Structure 1
Amino acid sequence: MPLTFTLDPAVTPALRDGVLDLWTDVSLAGGAVGFVPPVTREEIRPELVRHLVAMAEGRTRLLVGHDADGRVAATAFLTFNTHRLMTHWLWLYTVMVHPRHQGQGYGRDLLAAAADAARTCEGIEAIRLTCRGGTGLERFYASCGYKEVGRVPGAIRVAPGDDRDDVFMLLPLT
């Protein structure tokens, strides 16, 4: 059964907790979403609060996918540029699909829904995102239409002696 996507949902305690649970579960499963295991909900919470503040300030929009049971199963945060020369594209952050739903095409569905959401934003012509090298994510994003446009070798240190590339990807919307 497909996910049901909502852009700019009301931020209720249930939604907040659902996103926090998703972020924790994805991180614990080894997902490249800003943390490495072991990590706790309480360690992730301040980063979620930063995203929620950006939403309240109108700088970020949340796209959330719910599964058939109504649980938060996927998210992506669309963040507008504040630099006056870069307002024609936005960032896609914290792209997550719950581990129990991976391999079912929901990641592709999430990226398609994010592109559709970006197209509703006035003046937005492209989406940029970054991903952690060495995880296969750049191949996945490329299969969804994104093009690698840059790479910073060793920019992400996930552990001592384990540095990964920071890979920049772009999806033109026009």
Structure 2
Amino acid sequence: MSYINRIVIHCAATTNGRRLANARETAAAVIDRWHKDRGFRRSTPFVNEFSPGLRHIGYHFVIDTNGTVEKGRAIGETGAHAKGYNTGSIGICLVGTDKFTQAQWEALALLYADLVEKYPRAVVCGHRDLSPDLNGDGKITSNEWTKICPGFDVDSWETQLLSPRDEWICEEHL
């Protein structure tokens, strides 16, 4: 187990509003399969004790378009979601790319509130905010992003009291 100093919000880079899950497979199971194909692998002690069906998933939480929150890795288990920032972090993945359903926003706000209460010193950011500061000005700007993930400005979302902007919301399409 490690000290939690960062909570990183991601997107799955999938069609906005479209569920990954089907009757046989959850969104976390789909992402687990993708991560297996990329060579990710969880440590045996953690897999045996927490989410044993997800042997490769890099995220700690996955939020599907219907608002379902699935647990992937255990809190404190080193993730595989933000290269160079996996130790001591929690990875949250929203299904979609840059617009999310109202159910996802509500689930994210609840999860956020729970995690910041438990880990008040943790910095909350988007994956894109971990891009290199190429010009050294102390700010990561859009021209420096290596990814758009999670497709919205986490700082703005926090400043707006966890309310998404209209342009960040989409309808769920089953």
Task: Give the alignment's TM-score, normalised by structure 2.
Answer: 0.35
* Structure showing greater relative contact order (alpha-carbon pairs closer than 8 Å, 6 or more residues apart): 2
Higher percent of residues as strand:
1
TM-score calculated relative to the size of structure 1: 0.35
